[in-house]
Amino acid sequence: MYTLIVGTQSWSSWSLRPYLALMATGTPFEMEVVRLRMPNTSRQTILKYSPAGKVPVLKYDGKTVWDSLAICETLAERHPEAQLWPADADMRARARAYACEMHSGFPDVRDQLGLDFSRKLPLPELRPDTRVQLDRIISAWDEALAAHSGDFLFGKFSIADCVYAPVVSRFTTYDVPVPPRIKSYMEKIWALPGMQNWLAASQKEVAEGIV
């Protein structure tokens, strides 16, 4: 039914998000990987998949959807049984706010703690803005986890968790200090089958010298 076009799995945080959402639907899908940061990979290469010239891209029934959050929303609409958003309207609105804050924010975290999914790297000297943004992520996670019973930000696994999963990877790569409740949440995200699949693919990229 679906084909998901993603970028190099060691690096593409945007691709990981809809991959996890698609995994959560339980629907079979195919995946194509576009190797990023390669001499022969240009915007023109990706334009054959998407008019935006960026990954990820979801294709189904002759239709094309791009942008990670738009893909997640599409999957939530097409698979209501997967409950990718909380059923409660107020909780759903808050979960969307969490997802959108990550989708459009935290530029210094993205810059200083670049995604390198399967490696362990030293934590750099953080800029003041990066520290502020890290504190905001940790406090937002802690607030959500304290407010809802369950393993994930809003109790059950949701798009909010998909959106923050790359941050879990960044925190793991750079061994960012976090409180125990946050550490437990990160471990649950890391243990997801989709995260473990992504890790295996990233390790393979490293072993083959792709990254």
Element holding 34 (H helix, E strand): strand 29-34
- Mention every residue, 6+ apart, whose C-beta is less than 8 A from residue 112: 124, 126, 127, 130
Structural domain includes residue 179: yes
Give the confidence band of 43 by pLDDT, cuts at 50, 70, 90. low
Q: Where are the alpha helices (H) located in 5-53, listed in sequence order?
A: 13-25, 43-47
Do 188 and 115 share a structural domain?
A: yes
Q: What is the pLDDT of residues 102-112, one digit of tens each?
A: 999 999 999 99
Do 123 and 77 share a structural domain?
A: no
Look at the chain and report how many structural domains it folds into.
2
- Mean pLDDT of the residues in the chain: 95
What is the domain extent for residue 34? 2-82
- Mention every residue, 6+ apart, whose C-beta is less than 8 A from residue 54: 14, 46, 66, 67
Residue 65: count other Cβ atoms within 10 Å of its Cβ.
17
Do 103 and 183 share a structural domain?
A: yes
The residue type found at 168 is: V
Do 107 and 74 share a structural domain?
A: no
Q: What pTM was computed for the model? A: 0.95
Do 188 and 120 share a structural domain?
A: yes
Averaged pLDDT for residues 40-68: 85
Do 145 and 115 share a structural domain?
A: yes
Which CATH number belongs to the domain containing residue 32 in this structure?
3.40.30.10
Do 111 and 24 share a structural domain?
A: no
Do 152 and 60 share a structural domain?
A: no
